[in-house]
Amino acid sequence: MTHSVPLNASQFSLPGLGVIIMAAGLGKRMKSAVAKVLHPVAGRPMVLYIVDIANRLAEQGVAVVVGHQGADVRKAVEGAGAHVAVAEQTRQLGTGHAVLQARSVFAGDPQRKPSRYLILNGDTPLLTEATVRELLAMHEAQGAAVTLLTAVLEDASGYGRVLRRRRDEWIQGAADNAVQTIVEDKDASEDERHVREINVGTYVVDGEFLFPALEKLNPRNAQGEYYLTDIVQMAVQQGRAVSALRLRDIDEGLGINSRVQLAEAERVIRRRIRERWLEAGVTMRDPASTWIDVEVTIGCDTVLYPNVTLEGRTVIGEETVVHSGSRITDCIIGNRVEILDHCILRESQVEEGAHLGPFVHLRPGVRVRRKAKVGNFVEMKKTELGEGSKANHLSYLGDAKIGAGVNIGAGTITCNYDGWNKFQTVIGDQVFIGSDVQLIAPVTIGSGVIIAAGTTVTQDVPADALVLSRIPQVTREGWAARRRSLQSGETAASPPLEKSAKTVKSSTDSVKKKQPAVQRSKRR
């Protein structure tokens, strides 16, 4: 069953090229509940790396074959805005069978039938567009029926081996050393297992040749599957040319079947990403510990300290500094922002010249305006902090709109939740809030207001007012000294521990009648 989505031709695409991506496999060796091709590499599902290349090259459209957890794969691919048609492979009968499921995607208009197909495994995210273009060029130049990408590995175990014609089998008209067949690891003889040249899983196949060949496949092999790789042998038997391009950078051929290979791919992609940003003018104090997802962008002269993590679609401006241990996910950070150590920022926006940290937690929906400051142990959520305003110590600011030039005192809390609903706090410009203030939302504070330290604000306050809510202070002169002498006199006189404890208690009890605060401090 196929579902058509408008097929798209980009300006860099190759005329007559259709692309088929195999992404239906089970991925058993991953031991995961998540479809293998959806496991992220540098923050992006691995299949999307391949979809990207396909989208840039295909003129006659891209078909992605999904099966195992197909709905999730479809969602990821379509959600990435890729112009693809999805074909379903309901039973995973092998790579040859998978490609065959894409046939109807290209069956429509005979005028637009691909003259050749590029076929890609969904699990080779390190492959580059440049290599694929080179493969396509080789295919054209050699007029081949099948052109495949190979790599010579130190350890080829697990991969299909590329068997070439030996010199002693030289056949009239055939190129020396030409590829003869691909044998899967599980089907290979002892001798064949020693071959170190592997099939990467990237092929260009002649448009007339592909589907008739796939129809002739049979599953007589160790895995009982329809192997796409058998079309190589078929082409050779029909006297058609098969050409092969050997990878210079073998990393590109890494196929991900296990978590070990996933970690290896992650390492390579992360290194590539770092090199790209270093080249673009970003300073990294310790590149190896700097973690940058593939969709992040960073302005030049920005400095990243060790152990910084930039995730998702984060955008960082120019001349910004991010200190150690900070993690920034899906944020937009302006130019010349300073982020001190150990900040966690998510889905928020920080404008030019702002200053954050250390230990700031921005939850989704925060906007820190120009030159504002957020400091030690401040948590914010769905809150705007106006230009030049400061919240430097120990605060929770949620569902609040705070104007410009505001001072948020240490320990200020917006009490935004009554157990059922969330409410807004609105604070005008130039408001001064002293330390340890609670704002019981919904509440609006007019501009220029001063709120005294320790105040609990429960009602709206008009502009320029003073708000003060405190229990009046009680001061008893000499009281503390008298209590100390009373206590030390009695303990010195009575050595047995139990007895002394008792005496102290009774003496406290007598004091308690006059001053309950003493009893409280005693309990601590």
| Residue 255 engages Ca ion in binding (rule: CB under 5 A) | yes
Binding residue for ligand UD1 (CB under 6 A) from 42, 58, 77, 97?
97
| Residue 228 engages ligand UD1 in binding (rule: CB under 6 A) | yes
Min separation Cβ 32 and ligand UD1, Å: 13
Cβ-based nearer residue to ligand UD1, 253 or 299: 253
Cβ-based nearer residue to ligand UD1, 183 or 451: 183
Tokens of 478: 């000499």
Please say if 342 is a catalytic residue.
no
| Residue 93 engages ligand UD1 in binding (rule: CB under 6 A) | yes
Q: What is the pattern of x (binds Ca ion, CB under 5 A) and - over residues 78-117?
A: ----------------------------------------
Residue sitting closest to ligand UD1 (CB): 160
The binder of 92, among ligand UD1, Ca ion, none, by C-beta within 5 to 8 A per type, is ligand UD1
| Residue 22 engages ligand UD1 in binding (rule: CB under 6 A) | yes
| Residue 94 engages ligand UD1 in binding (rule: CB under 6 A) | yes
**Residues in 251-290 that interact with ligand UD1 by CB under 6 A:** 255, 257
Comparing CA positions, the residue from 406, 332, 344 lying closest to residue 379 is 344
Which residue is catalytic, options 83, 342, 361, 393? 393
Q: What single-letter DSSP state applies at residue 399?
A: S
Tokens of 393: 């110590």
Distance in angstroms (rounded) separating the CA atoms of residues 497 and 111: 102
Distance in angstroms (rounded) separating the CA atoms of residues 524 and 517: 12
∠ CA 188-194-195 to the nearest 5 degrees? 85
**Residues in 114-133 that interact with Ca ion by CB under 5 A:** 123
| Long-range Cβ contact pairs of 293-299 (< 8 A, separation 24 or more) | 293/42, 293/43, 293/44, 294/41, 294/42, 294/43, 294/44, 294/269, 295/43, 295/44, 299/335
Distance in angstroms (rounded) separating the CA atoms of residues 135 and 247: 10
Contact 451, 465 (CB under 8 A): no
Binding residue for ligand UD1 (CB under 6 A) from 2, 8, 92, 456?
92
Task: Label residue 448 left, alpha or beta by phi (over 0 means left) and psi (-120 to 50 means alpha).
Answer: left
Cβ-based nearer residue to ligand UD1, 225 or 351: 225
Min separation Cβ 282 and ligand UD1, Å: 33
Cβ-based nearer residue to Ca ion, 70 or 255: 255
| Residue 199 engages ligand UD1 in binding (rule: CB under 6 A) | yes
Radius of gyration of the chain (CA): 34
| Long-range Cβ contact pairs of 263-267 (< 8 A, separation 24 or more) | 265/41, 265/46, 265/125, 265/126, 266/41, 266/42
Contact 296, 314 (CB under 8 A): yes
Binding residue for ligand UD1 (CB under 6 A) from 55, 180, 181, 229?
229
Contact residues toward Ca ion (CB under 5 A) are 123, 255, 257
Annotated catalytic residues are: 393
Give me the residues that bind ligand UD1 (CB under 6 A), please: 22-25, 37, 65, 67, 89, 92-95, 97-98, 121-123, 159-160, 182, 184, 198-201, 227-229, 255, 257
